[in-house]
Structure 1
Amino acid sequence: MTNLIAAFSIEQVHRLTGLSISRLTGWDNDAFYQPSLAYKNRRSPYSRIYTFEDLVALRTLSLLRERVSMQHLRRAAVKLREHSGRPWSELTLYVVNREVHFKPQGSDQIQGAVSGQIALAIPLSSVAEDMQAKSEKMRLRDNSLVGKIEQHRFVMGGDPVIAGTRVLVSSIKAFARAGYSIGQIIEQYPSLKKQDVQAVLKEHELTQAA
């Protein structure tokens, strides 16, 4: 699977994993599961930022919650951390008789995370692949964003970008000032539309031929 590097807000994690924002916040507050890129001051906007690994782990927990109790998951987390720093995303997990099982590294046996009992089990579906597909679909550009400029604190350091992309407005301006036409600029950034470049040129009173 291609390594996906991305940051997700708590709202996006809610949509992709099925976990409520209140549950995600609660898990963060009681240190059961905390976002990898969180600020100390959780009251500030966008203070909880989740990585793709967090997304996989939380979707795994969402699936496990349908099969085992939270009390068991908390106990299992303590045991599983002995085998992995990120047990919910790095280990292949199984559920047998309402208990979380896993396969220790270098072993062919599947054992209970809490009980240690050996069992035959059916693995959960590939959560990582499922989350990658869903997150990529979510990130597909909305046509309503074409021709617009936006600014977000956690996108390209807060500098203005073409809406729905990570293309800096300053980069478009630099190409325009260097004499690139709209078509030539789009060749540099195939995800852009003519309206995107025109929006930058209009806002900054630059003129270029198509």
Structure 2
Amino acid sequence: MAYDPKLAAALSGATLRQLAHWRKASVSRGAVLIPEISSTRPVLYSFRDVVALRTCVKLRNDASLQKIRRALDTLRDDLKERDHLSSYTLVADGSSIYLAAPDQAVDLVRKKANVVIHEMVDVLQPFYRDGRHIPPLLQPRAHVAVDPAIRGGVPVIEGTRIPYDEVAALLRDGVPPERISDYYPSVTATAALDAADFADYVDSFDPPRERREVAAG
């Protein structure tokens, strides 16, 4: 299983435009993140990609895209760190971007080793981006869970293998929450409402014109 761009955006906090931009290399620097499953249509992201994207979104709160690209080039070209971006702890403090490790931290912009990091971040936890609340990655809603060992990480009703969007689709078709158990006995009305709420959140990452076209159709 894999994440299409809209679901990857919703789980990471990036916009669809940012995802497209980050897939491309600039004139002088490499791409921020190329999806490891498919970088051409249909574009598909992995769970590791989503974790890395959350890191990039959090960095973007405190650093310019140019600075992020410079830091990633230092990581990959100078330090020869070529593992998946999700493998690294990257922290920004408004002046630079650092690679944090248990025994040291490296300033990836000014290329100085053994700097002090005052605050570590956990990209799996919730945060805000441009006034939007980005939910915790592994529990985006109380009854919706993300586990890479279950359906490849596609959000499901907690404690089941039932995709959230299948339940949300039934509610959108007019099935009352309390009747969802007729279709999925293990899904409560509360869990169904959570699935619908998360589906609405995912759809909010559609570009405005696309949302109007869907509504008009």
TM-score by length of 1: 0.56
Q: 1:60 aligns with which of 52, 55, 63?
A: 55
Partner of 1:32: 32
> How many pairs were matched up?
141
Query: Which residues in structure 2 correspond to 1:39-118 (within 5 Å)?
Result: 40=40, 42=41, 47-81=42-76, 82-87=80-85, 89-104=86-101, 108-117=103-112, 118=114
Q: Give how far 1:9 is off.
A: 1.1
In 2: Cα distance, 1:121 partner to 1:93 partner: 10
Partner of 1:16: 11
Partner of 1:121: 117
Amino acid at match of 1:131: L
Query: Which residues in structure 2 correspond to 1:187-198 (within 5 Å)?
Result: 193-195=181-183
Residues 115 and 101 from structure 1, CA distance in 2 versus in 1: closer, same or farther, beyond 3 angstroms?
same
Q: Give how far 1:123 is off.
A: 4.1
User: What residue ranges of structure 1 are gaps of 5+ in the alignment?
Assistant: 1-5, 148-191, 198-210
Structure showing greater radius of gyration is 1
Q: Give how far 1:195 is off.
A: 3.1
Say if 2:3 and 2:46, in contact at 8 Å, map to a contact too: yes
Partner of 1:170: none
Partner of 1:166: none
Amino acid at match of 2:116: L
Q: Give how far 1:125 is off.
A: 2.3
Q: Give how far 1:49 is off.
A: 0.8
Say if 1:18 and 1:62, in contact at 8 Å, map to a contact too: yes
User: Is 1:136 the equivalent of 2:133?
Assistant: no
Residues 146 and 86 from structure 1, CA distance in 2 versus in 1: closer, same or farther, beyond 3 angstroms?
same
Question: Deviations for 1:46-103, whole angstroms, at most 9, x for unmatched residues?
Answer: x11111110010011001011111111111111212224223x111222245211113
RMSD: 3.0
In 1: Cα distance, 2:108 partner to 2:168 partner: 48
Identical positions, percent: 24
**SS of residue matched to 1:19:** coil
Partner of 1:181: none
Residues 122 and 20 from structure 1, CA distance in 2 versus in 1: closer, same or farther, beyond 3 angstroms?
same
Partner of 1:177: none
User: What residue ranges of structure 2 are gaps of 5+ in the alignment?
Assistant: 26-30, 126-135, 147-154, 158-163, 172-179, 186-217
After TM superposition, which residue ranges in structure 1, 4 or more long, deviate above 4 angstroms?
A: 142-147
In 1: Cα distance, 2:2 partner to 2:119 partner: 27
Higher relative contact order (CA 8 A, sep 6+): 2
**SS of residue matched to 2:59:** helix
In 2: Cα distance, 1:37 partner to 1:146 partner: 30
Say if 2:100 and 2:117, in contact at 8 Å, map to a contact too: no
Question: Deviations for 1:144-197, whole angstroms, at most 9, x for unmatched residues?
Answer: 5459xxxxxxxxxxxxxxxxxxxxxxxxxxxxxxxxxxxxxxxxxxxx955369
Q: Give how far 1:33 is off.
A: 1.6
In 1: Cα distance, 2:18 partner to 2:156 partner: 24
